[in-house]
Amino acid sequence: MRFCNPLNGCINEGGVPSQFVFRDGFKDVELVEGVNSGCWENEGEEADFFWFTIEAQANGRFGFILESADVPSDIDFNVWGPFTSEQACGNPEAVVRFIENNQPIRSSWSPLESRTGLAERHPLFRYRINDDFDCITPNLPSPLGDDFVRPINVQEGEVYVVLVNDFGDDIVGNGISVDWSPSTPAVLARIPVEVVTQNAEICQGDSVRLEISSSIDNITWSPSDGLSCTNCLTPMASPNETTVYTAVVEGVCTMDTVKVEVKVRTINLEQEITVCAGEKVELTAGNEFQGATYQWIAPQGLILSCTDCPNPTVEANIPGVYTITVNLQTEECPATDQLS
């Protein structure tokens, strides 16, 4: 089961509901009455299921209104939490074990083919909703209820896991519609993607770990050259030349792109240059490296404007073929190259 792709950022402008599709038999966790099933007495003969998570981006209310986006059907739900993003993304097995052994904190089950959800007031009759369970208690499940329970007051950073079922098994293709209006908008704001590894410099042949911070695990790095993996949070990068890597982080309703440059320290002199009498030609050792020490060595007959700078000029006063050597010394790695 994947809990590391929350539905944050799915609130549409103008309050248009989001729409998601059920998967056949997508339950994954065994529900046992009196243990972890909440108000559900049973799960239906062939009920389809939909799991989703949210990660609170602010303190406030988490709520929703569910209904079929297809023909009317009996939809029910359970909510577990709170969890941390580290648990949801880094240790989903522990989250599953918790769900297997603990009752939900919100549960609704009614035999009606009507809307259901977490709301402060019933969307049709407008009375205030005060109950956490649409039954007497999770230990006394009952199909008697009004489909709605009260929202959850959440704290920033908390993750909640929601299981929705199509108990009526009547929804064919268009899935469920989710109205997020009972939530505080800031709670379901898009999750920022942060670059942990800023632009880096490495020696040729070395590696650096690229890292971004995200509660979404649907990541694609490109180009793939020099990367240990392309669909992970922290690939190792070993490029042969300076490369700008791009990470596309695609949520259910959002997409972010971040870039990290890995500069490879290399000396790349031209193989051969021609200098006419009285002409000055600039030499370059490739990248200019912060904190590097340059040493240019030229034989007699060539005049260098400097011997300890990145880009000296060279002037020939005696005809001939000469070899110029540059030594680059940094704290991390030395390099040498020659040209004639």
Residues 96 and 208 in one domain: no
The per-residue pLDDT for range 247-292, each reduced to its tens digit, is 898 887 888 888 888 877 766 555 567 767 777 777 776 655 666 7
User: At which residue do the structure tokens 């929705």 appear?
Assistant: 164
- Residue 160: predicted pLDDT: 97
Count of domains forming the chain? 3
Question: Do 223 and 165 share a structural domain?
Answer: no
The domain of 103 spans 13-188
Instruction: Give the residues across from 195 on adjacent strands.
Output: 212
Cβ atoms of 156 and 56 within 8 Å: the answer is yes
CATH code, domain carrying 246: 2.60.40.10
Q: Which residue has the tokens 């989710």?
A: 178
Measured in whole angstroms, the distance separating CA 115 from the mean position of its chain's CA atoms is 32
CA separation for the pair 46, 70 (Å, rounded)? 17
Q: pTM for this structure?
A: 0.75
Q: Bigger pLDDT: 69 or 325?
A: 69
Q: State whether the Cα torsion 155-162-75-20 is positive or negative.
A: positive
Instruction: Quickly count: other Cβ atoms within 10 Å of residue 42's Cβ.
Output: 13
Residue 324 lies inside a defined structural domain of this protein:
yes
Residue 6 lies in a domain: no
Q: Identify the CA nearest to 49 among candidates 14, 24, 13, 66.
A: 24
Are 171 and 235 in a shared domain? no
What is the rounded distance in angstroms from the CA atom of residue 227 to the CA atom of residue 207? Answer: 9
**How many whole angstroms separate alpha carbon 320 and alpha carbon 336?**
23
Residue 99: predicted pLDDT: 95
Q: Is the distance from CB of 272 to CB of 264 less than 8 angstroms?
A: no
